[in-house]
Structure 1
């Protein structure tokens, strides 16, 4: 069932991870209530506290997507300890974003990924000689200062990425990753990535994986500060091209006079992108998006 018709409005059926019906309410009213709760997280939390029947439903809404953004560093470790101690809650988490200035060890992130069972996906890994777990989505952001330390060592990033044989969507943000230690050992363990949003520091690992040769990457997003930086990744676009359906290029300028859509299109070789359906050009000038 794709929708419920009530009076003159069509309500989409909520995508919830529950194994039993809410109650004996009429189906139309049940889905209407669930739809409203998805838009009102405080109400969902209140329902979880006052009614045992609503608890798993409210928790599935509250924890399905968890985003820990830059504020206080203490929040992320506390959440990881919380889900490790409450495996029933961990089962509701389907997307976990650790974004900003959090000082997390690689081991802490490993624990989180091992604890959250819903992160595993049933991708086809028959082509892998030694299959590892698959992950639906992984977003890693580094926004700290540029200096050589373990905080921004790209080897730590790769050690997490290479935990998996396939990643549905990989987003690596931040242009201050540093190569502190050797990364050659990770190249042979590189996962297949179906959708990628990346700056400039990780394309070597992607080329070493089956993501490009196997033709499995359908989305590619490149964030570059200059056209020259984007051109440096032109090979990545060309190699992924035959199966690429969506390409997004984000550029940053300091002056409006420097913005040139023609230069961007001329710099990219899209001749191999025979299946391309959407090309997005995203410009930011003095923090003003275009």
Structure 2
């Protein structure tokens, strides 16, 4: 968060994504979706970045798109690449932003994709990255990979994603970074209204759009995974915990049991990033030990 992202009303307004070029299947209108050409920079702590890691793994793109994982603790220089990135030589992600645009002054965010051929960042547009992997890289998906963004459901997925982003994914940040009571109340009320609606929605379907996992489930999961560990206390989103919602909690555990979801969820890095990095909220930098929650208990969602 920067001072520029806080309005006079105390509301948090996330900065716009600077790099929004789209990689395309045929190279028309953007660089082509060529195996081995791109490098995806992520943090295991970041919910926006975890989305792209989950999708990359679900679709079997591990050998198609390279991966670089930054350190969870970020300072004024931005995200650090442990031991320097062997492909780009960067020690900090900021170096790649400034190589691409020397005048860039915003936050250096993950996920972002580096083009090893043109040696520049193609995109840091986190909402577009996963759908790009799902559509433009379709020719490189593993056999039997799930269709996370089926054409027949795209309108419904997009509408649900927009609402969940506004009130839940970004809503927790609106609450956590609010500097006025009105802004905080507004964000928290919208957040829990949507969580209540999602609890009802999941009472009669296994996943958000039915019996198959879609892009919408990926986007919701990464916020749920951080909810009780971080957002409930650190961001003061404490009307209810995730574990207080029987359907949402069972749904989250159902997804966690899938290796692409659970295997990319690192609670240690998540907690260290939020509690140590965001000193404006947690000045001491002390990381809480809890909560002690067993994500492996039976969920029975397959019934």
TM-score normalised by structure 1 residue count: 0.28
Q: Which has the larger radius of gyration?
A: 1
Considering Cα pairs closer than 8 Å and 6+ residues apart, tell me whether 1 or 2 has the greater RCO. Answer: 2
Judging by fraction of residues, say which structure has more strand.
1
Q: Give the helix-richer structure, 1 or 2.
A: 2
Q: State TM-score, norm by structure 2.
A: 0.27
